[in-house]
Structure formats: C-alpha cells, structure tokens
Amino acid sequence: MTAPDGALITWRTSSYTDTGECIEVGQFAAECLVRDSKDREGPQLAFSLRAWAAFTRQASSDSFPAQGG
C-alpha cells in the first residue's frame, strides 16, 4: 500500500546528508514509506512499522557484513 495522492505525509531526510539527495522517510497509517528525494513523485516503498524498526535497529548497530568485490 502506498499513500493516496494528496495524503498529508511529513517526509524526513537524514541529518547526515549534505546535499539532501538521499532517501526520505514518512509515515502513513501503520506503514513507513520510503522514497527517493530526487524523484518525489516517483514510487514509494512501504514497510510495516515493525519491519522498519527492526531495519533501523540493525543498521544503527553497525553489524551489517562488509561488502567486498
């Protein structure tokens, strides 16, 4: 589910970004929405609040495996 056109959503960007060109996060009903800040009219990803909380907890724990090539 994504928010219907005209839905009032407060979008937030990370305070760690210098350019504002990253993702934005907002909430609609019981979902966390994620969109590209450079394409605000583009698609949105929707996550349950529980799934988003688990993701942010994992991301902030710095325990994701390093990516190598």
pLDDT class for 21, splitting at 50, 70, 90?
Answer: confident
For residue range 40-63, what is the model confidence (pLDDT) as tens digits? 888 999 999 999 999 888 888 877
**C-alpha to C-alpha distances, 9 to 6, 18, 20, 34, nearest whole angstrom:** 9, 23, 18, 11
Task: Work out how many domains the chain is built from and give that number.
Answer: 1
| Domain limits for position 51 | 12-60
Q: Is residue 23 one of the residues assigned to a domain? A: yes
- The helix or strand, by DSSP H or E, that contains position 26, with its residue range, turns out to be strand 23-28
Burial 28-39 (b: 16+ CB within 10 A, else e): beebbbbbeeee
In a domain, 67, yes or no: no
User: What was the pLDDT predicted at 4?
Assistant: 59
- Residue 56 domain-assigned (yes or no): yes
Structure tokens at 9: 């959503």
Question: In 3-state terms, what secondary structure has residue 49?
Answer: helix
Supply the pTM of this predicted model: 0.72
